[in-house]
Structure 1
Amino acid sequence: MNFKGYALALSAASMTVAAGFASAAELGDTSQPIKLAVNEWTGQHVTTHIAAGMLEAAGYDVEFVSAGMMNQFQAIADGDIHATLEIWSSNVSDEYAKKIEEGTVVELGDLELNAREGIAYPAHVAEMCPGLPAWEALRDCAMQFATAETLPNGRLVDYPADWGTPGADRMAGLDLPFKAVPAGSEAALIVELRAATERKTPLLVTFWQPHWAMSAYDVKFVDLPPGEEACFTDPAWGPNPNAVNDCDFSPSRIFKAAWSGTEETWPAAYEILSNYTLAVEDQQPMMGAIDVDGGKVEEVVAAWMAENEAKWRPVVDAAIK
């Protein structure tokens, strides 16, 4: 899959470079394609395809490589993948920290999406569990969420297994009578939200924003104790004196990373990816156009880039002119 056809169709009009960008860099080895990781969720696809369009507008070839979010970092460290563009701090593997420490993976700065993760429910569920959004309400109405698979506990639909177990961690930390059942994929999470909304049935789910489903299904977050650092290290902190994770997610930071050889091999590409940011107001409608309206990610992103050149072209121009 290649973005070049779309990127070349974009206007090459010169624009004023935003303040703070570095001076122009060399393109480097344009005989090699730059390989970008494609992870499991639609927002990441949008983020990555925009980055690809920017790189190709600068004169690079780009390849997409399917990679699991939790296990991609060895491939990046080995130079088999050159960058990953949407890492969530609240759900990053220990392997990432190891690769950063050994210097085989380097961080590229924040993507600057306004993000949040948490335990969530469609708005109609508040009628079935009086007291929501307060987390304590879940203790008294857990049976409303129970299934044959989880009895006598309620059911929490957690992230797919290879994304980690954040929902299960919070049920244990807060000593709530819920069993976390991992979803098979992001699509499976959406199926759960759609079905619960259409049938007006109870659902508790681990979810995040930005995501088009937050507005489509009127999804609300449970109010959990603040996700302060002490919550994750000191059992004495928080409402459960015998456990960690008795709190909300840490405020999410979304950032980018690359193979350590990226800057030397493609200096301008490294600069472009480092300076690349994306607003939730831009990403979320594109996600809806793909997941709800059935658009192809390449076409949706290409249309956005053609209509919003002022938002990305200065980053490219600053790196190559």
Structure 2
Amino acid sequence: MKPITTLLASAFLALGLVTSSDAADKSTPIRFGDITWESGSLTTEILRLIVEKGYGYPTDTLPGSTVSMEVALARNDIQVIGEEWAGRSPAWIKAEQAGQVFSIGDTVKNADEGWYVPAYVIKDLAPNLHSVADLKQYKAVFKDPESPDKGRFLNSPSGWTSETVNSQKLKAYGLDQDYVNFRSGSGAALDAEITSAIRRGKPVLFYYWSPTPLMGRYDLVRLEEPAFDAQAWKTLTDASNPNPQGTRSLPAKLSIGVSAPFKKDYPELVEFFAKVDLPIDTLNKTLAQMSKKRESPKDAALRFMRNNPQIWKAWLPDEVASKVEASL
């Protein structure tokens, strides 16, 4: 037999006297995707802390690759992806068009990706290097140790979407004969290659993105590219296109991904998610400290919350913010 309170809640819900969130089961954990990259894992822990301490809902996480988490979200096997690069994955686009998933908010404005060099390279070795169009004259600066007549471009690892895009960009910018397209074995290997060069004060040309610890740790300059063009972008994402056209990458929009049932059942959390705004400079610095101190994402999230109340309090009703603050 159902408890009287459950029967009353069901009756009130049927009559429209309570919202679905009032009747949401606070004993069932809200499942977040267990994101493995730094900014996503930090954002996830910030959200979980607020959901648990401010709103009283238990949470847990479910691991998986980006695509598998998006598929799980569409099935409501998980309810939240804390950092969704909305509109890039075919799995996401399909689920969004079917009304199975929703991207909430604009959580990190000015998130970006592109080709970078350390600032000291421009200052000391390549004073006229401002855009990808200038790279032809500076291939000797970025000399490849195995092919010294060419420069070296550090691409993403094979298998990443950005690796295809960057390889096509080298062709589009007429640089494929002047630069070795060097693919690191993993994201960690790419980081190690870049960090090693910077620590030794050596020139290095590489693909990277933000928000990341690297951006918070070093003074890097993004090289200019032609303005974004949707048709040109299609030629860059197609590895078989023989005539790729140069353009900046698709503008990044970082959101919080939620399942359709979650959006319906937790309107107060959707309202909170829509207000999340993580200043990118603060986020990059937090990520850099997390990496330097070898903090867990949970510990870094706690430090972020303690050090930046003016940021997260703006997302929340006063009563909820007070509960969160008391828990820190």
TM-score in terms of structure 2 length:
0.76
Tell me which amino acid in the other structure corresponds to 2:102.
V
Contact preservation (8 Å) 1:29, 1:265: no
Q: Which moved more, 1:191-200 or 1:301-310?
A: 301-310
Greater RCO, 1 or 2 (C-alpha within 8 Å, sep 6+): 1
Residue of structure 1 in register with 2:5 after alignment: none
Q: Which residue of 2 aligns with 1:183?
A: 184
Aligned residue for 1:98, secondary structure, equals helix
The change in CA–CA distance for 1:255 and 1:118 in structure 2 (over 3 A counts) is same
Farther off after superposition, 31-40 or 305-314: 305-314
Report the count of equivalent residues.
292
* TM superposition shift of 1:46: 1.4
Residue 121 in structure 1 maps to residue 117 in structure 2:
yes
Please report the RMSD computed on the Cα atoms of aligned residues, expressed in angstroms.
Answer: 3.1
| Residue 221 (structure 1) aligns with | 222
Indicate if the aligned counterparts of 2:106 and 2:277 stay in contact, CA closer than 8 A.
yes
Q: 1:31 aligns with which of 22, 27, 39?
A: 27
**Structure 2 match to 1:78:** 75
Q: 1:104 and 2:103 equivalent? A: no
Q: Which amino acid aligns with 1:60?
A: Y
Distance (Å, rounded) in 2 between the aligned partners of 1:264 and 1:245: 42
1:208-265 deviations in Å (ceiling 9; x for gaps): 2333423533211112112233432589xxxxxx834412223322222111211234
* Residue equivalent to 1:174: 173
1:119 Cα shift? Answer: 0.6
Bigger Rg, which one = 2
Q: CA deviation at 1:118?
A: 0.7
Going from structure 1 to structure 2, the CA distance change for 1:75 and 1:277 (only over 3 Å counts) comes to same
Displacement of 1:311 in angstroms is 3.1
- Alignment partner of 2:196: what SS? helix
Determine which of 1, 23, 39 is the counterpart of 1:43.
39
Alignment match, 2:239: none
Does 2:276 match 1:276?
A: yes
Instruction: Summarize the Cα distance change of 1:282–1:131 in structure 2 as closer, same or farther, 3 Å threshold.
Output: closer
Distance 1:62 1:160, change over 3 A: farther
Deviations along 1:163-196, one digit per CA (max 9) or x if unpaired, are 4123223212222123434434443332122111
Structure 1 residue ranges without an equivalent (≥5): 1-22, 236-241
For residue 72 of structure 1, what is the amino acid of its counterpart? M
Q: Is the CA contact (8 Å cut-off) linking 2:233 and 2:249 kept in structure 1?
A: no
Q: Is the 2:217–2:285 contact (alpha carbons within 8 Å) kept by the matching residues of 1?
A: no
5+ residue gaps, structure 2: 1-18, 237-241, 322-328
135, 139, 154: which one pairs with 1:138? 135
Distance across 1 between alignment mates of 2:235 and 2:73? 33
- Asked whether the equivalents of residues 24 and 318 of structure 1 are also in contact (C-alpha less than 8 Å), the reply is no
- Structure 2: distance between partners of 1:304 and 1:110: 19
Cα distance, 1:44–1:147 mapped onto 2, change above 3 Å:
same
CA displacement at 1:149 relative to structure 2: 6.5
The whole-number CA distance in structure 1 between the counterparts of 2:56 and 2:266 is 11
Aligned match of 2:326: none
User: Is the alpha carbon distance of 1:295 and 1:315 closer, same or farther for their aligned partners in structure 2, counting shifts above 3 Å?
Assistant: same
Report the 3-state secondary structure (helix = DSSP H, G, I; strand = E; otherwise coil) of the residue aligned with 2:73: helix
Q: What one-letter code is carried by the residue in structure 2 that aligns with 1:282? A: T
- Secondary structure at the counterpart of residue 261 of structure 1: helix
Range with greater deviation from structure 2 (243-252 or 113-122): 243-252
- Relative to 1, partners in 2 of residues 1:245 and 1:183: Cα closer, same or farther, differing over 3 Å? farther
Identity %: 22
With over 3 angstroms needed to count, the CA separation of the structure-2 counterparts of 1:222 and 1:56, relative to structure 1, is same
Contact residue 117 and residue 223 of structure 2 kept, 8 A: yes
Which residue pairs with 1:155 in the alignment? 152
Distance 2:253 2:175 in 1: 27
Relative to structure 1, the CA distance from residue 74 to residue 122 in structure 2 (aligned partners, 3 Å threshold; closer, same or farther) is same
Kept after mapping to 2: 8 A contact 1:28/1:266: yes
Q: Give secondary structure in 1 for the equivalent of 2:81.
A: strand
Query: What residue is the counterpart of 2:10 in the other structure?
Result: none
1:9 matched to which residue of 2? none
Runs of 4+ in structure 1 off by over 6 angstroms are 148-152, 318-321
Is residue 95 of structure 1 aligned with residue 96 of structure 2? no
Q: What one-letter code is carried by the residue in structure 2 that aligns with 1:262? A: F
Q: In structure 2, do the counterparts of structure 1 residues 246 and 263 end up closer, same or farther at CA, with 3 Å as the change threshold?
A: same
